[in-house]
Structure 1
Amino acid sequence: MTHFNYKGYQGSVKVSVEDHCLHGKIEFIGDLVNYEAETVSELEKEFRLAVDSYLETCKATGVEPKKPFKGSFNVRIGRELHEKAAKRATDIGKSLNEYIKDIVKTDTESHA
């Protein structure tokens, strides 16, 4: 396991040799939320507390909490590659979105 998971959030697990501790942050959101501990069990507990605290702070301040992986993202690939991908998608009877989605799905499944 390289990440903790809780309430739809993922948290990193890092080692600081200099400080003799474990630390991490909530990943894939725009806000910075850190946590640290001395054992993996404690770090997971601190991650969960960090998520709960983040959600409570957002609620108290009336701010919508950031969510990881909203399901869409922008990719800048240049005009020439964009054109080639769009033409290939048309050739095989797919939208550009479907074509790219299938490529990403195939690649990630083969590396799971």
Structure 2
Amino acid sequence: MNNVIEIAGEKAVVTFDPEIRMLRGEFVELNGGADFYAESVHDLLEEGRKSLAVFLEMCTEKGIEPHRRFSGKFNVRLDRHDHAAAVIAAAAAGKSLNEWIVGVIKEAAA
């Protein structure tokens, strides 16, 4: 994944904000707003370290769990043609729709 960086073991998604002409990082597995901005990759990494440290310290002070909990379940809504195409692709691969979707997600997220 080209737009994901790791800082102190935490993954952050990086985007470019054209309005302010800066890079933005966001720790998406955390329970709150731990985002950070900079004009260069080097500075973004440094700002990310600072933002993460402040966020984790605040969580400790307030007794808050810093990481989001994921249930492993989510709903997907797509049009009926895409749904049918997914069922056909899963069957052609000899998998249930759930197994096929899990495989597609794992491949795309790797």
Q: TM-score interval w.r.t. the shorter chain?
A: 0.5 to 0.7
Query: What is residue 101 of structure 1 aligned with on the other side?
Result: 102
Aligned-partner residue type, residue 98 of structure 1:
E
* Conservation of the 8 A alpha-carbon contact between 1:22 and 1:40: no
1:54 and 1:11, CA in 2 relative to 1: closer, same or farther beyond 3 A?
farther
Aligned length: 102
* Conservation of the 8 A alpha-carbon contact between 1:23 and 1:37: yes
* Conservation of the 8 A alpha-carbon contact between 1:26 and 1:51: no
Aligned-partner residue type, residue 28 of structure 1:
V
* Conservation of the 8 A alpha-carbon contact between 1:11 and 1:47: no
| TM-score normalised by the chain length of structure 2 | 0.61
RMSD after superposition = 3.7
1:43 and 1:102, CA in 2 relative to 1: closer, same or farther beyond 3 A?
closer
Q: Which runs of 5+ in 2 are unaligned?
A: none
Q: How does 1:46-61 map to 2 (within 5 A)?
A: 46-61=47-62
* Conservation of the 8 A alpha-carbon contact between 2:5 and 2:12: yes
Q: Which runs of 5+ in 1 are unaligned?
A: none
**CA–CA separation in structure 2 for the residues paired with 1:99 and 1:38:** 40
Larger radius of gyration between Structure 1 and Structure 2: 1
**CA–CA separation in structure 2 for the residues paired with 1:34 and 1:28:** 9
| TM-score normalised by the chain length of structure 1 | 0.60
1:44 and 1:13, CA in 2 relative to 1: closer, same or farther beyond 3 A?
farther
Aligned-partner residue type, residue 76 of structure 2:
R
% of aligned pairs identical?
A: 22
Q: Shift of residue 26 of structure 1?
A: 1.8
**CA–CA separation in structure 1 for the residues paired with 2:13 and 2:105:** 23
**CA–CA separation in structure 1 for the residues paired with 2:13 and 2:50:** 11
